[in-house]
Amino acid sequence: MQKYDYLIVGAGLFGCVFAYEATKAGKRCLVIDKRDHLGGNVYCENIDGINVHKYGAHIFHTNDKQIWDYVNQFAEFNNYINSPVSISKGKLYNLPFNMNTFYQLWGTKTPDEAKRIIENQIKEYGCENPKNLEEQALSLIGKDVYETLIKEYTEKQWGKKATELPAFIIKRLPVRYTFNNNYFNDKYQGIPIGGYNKIINGLLKGIETKTNIDFFENKEELSQLASKTVYTGKIDEFYNYKYGNLEYRSLRFENTRLEKENDQGNAVVNYNDATIPYTRTIEHKHFEFGKQKHTVVTKEFPEQWSKDKEAYYPINNQENQKKYQQYKALSLKENSIIFGGRLAEYKYYDMHQIIASALQKVNKELG
């Protein structure tokens, strides 16, 4: 006998929003996750009073007032603004590329001076039909910014030479001719005070949840518990890799507690040089303006993905997209399974996009 209306596989943002809305509409939901905690990649681990973003920095930003109001139901947000800095060959640069960055590179003081240098470099090094990421970047920003702040970082992140990466990875580059270090252009930005777990706990309040449950160990049995399954895991795994596995990049995180109040003076510091194995370091207390006497810093190492590792970034090249379209075609034939989220849709989503997608799917489902 079916005990639930929806079995929700995966307690990330997509699954939690779906469960919250369905429950509000009077449906019975069970949320399961194979990890030992709820919240997916937005989960925060409290380490000695500091909310550590366990799966990398998560900064909420959106221009959509409805989405902003939606998350604010569950937590109050602070006014954190993401302003990362980048280290290249021992020198510090501001991100995103702006007048501060150009001054640090060339000593330029006016937008006209900076534009002139970039335009001349695009003329010299760019091309009309870029065939790879390197050509694309040179055609958008010129040689100096590319070689100083993009090339080695990107090659580390993807584990491939920039000349082997598709051009579409860099569709556009944020270039600002103002002295503005705000990484996002979005109107609404911040970090939930007390961490993202507050939002997850608010979404799942009163809903039955089970952790340490691997859906694929008891797929048939679990599926029979509910009329429909909301699946947020890897779509290729759902179909037992029928068309081969989709590729991802993975990440590994190393946390260090330091007995000092402030280690790097900023939440996020990027490391461009190929000689440094990690891409960035995150000092979590700065997300919430912490005043603790100690700090926790995380190094983020990009890694080759394998089936026993977490899948973070889809490698959206033509070969993988072709495979994904075959899996998607199968998923569209399902009547009792709803696929949603980053892994099920093989798509990189920001948090506000995941919430919007979940709301859209649950509203369509509930009519």
The pLDDT of residue 342:
96
Task: Work out the burial of residue 341: count CB atoms within 10 Å of its CB; fewer than 13 is exposed, 13-18 middle, 19 or more buried.
Answer: buried
- Which parts of the chain sit beneath pLDDT 50? none
- Per the document, the length of the chain is 367
Helix (H, G, I), strand (E, B) or coil at 256: strand
**Average pLDDT of the residues of the chain:** 96
Cα 247 to Cα 316: distance, rounded to the nearest angstrom: 8
Helix (H, G, I), strand (E, B) or coil at 12: coil
Residues in CB range of 26: below 8 A, 6 or more apart: none
The model's pTM is: 0.95
What angle do helix axes 133-141 and 111-125 make, rounded to 10 degrees? 140
Please write the tens of the pLDDT for every residue from 217-265. 999 999 999 999 999 999 999 999 999 999 999 999 999 999 999 999 9
The pLDDT of residue 172:
79
Cα 301 to Cα 278: distance, rounded to the nearest angstrom: 4
The pLDDT of residue 168:
87
- Which positions are annotated as active-site residues? 172, 176, 249, 280, 300, 348, 350
The pLDDT of residue 1:
64
The pLDDT of residue 5:
98
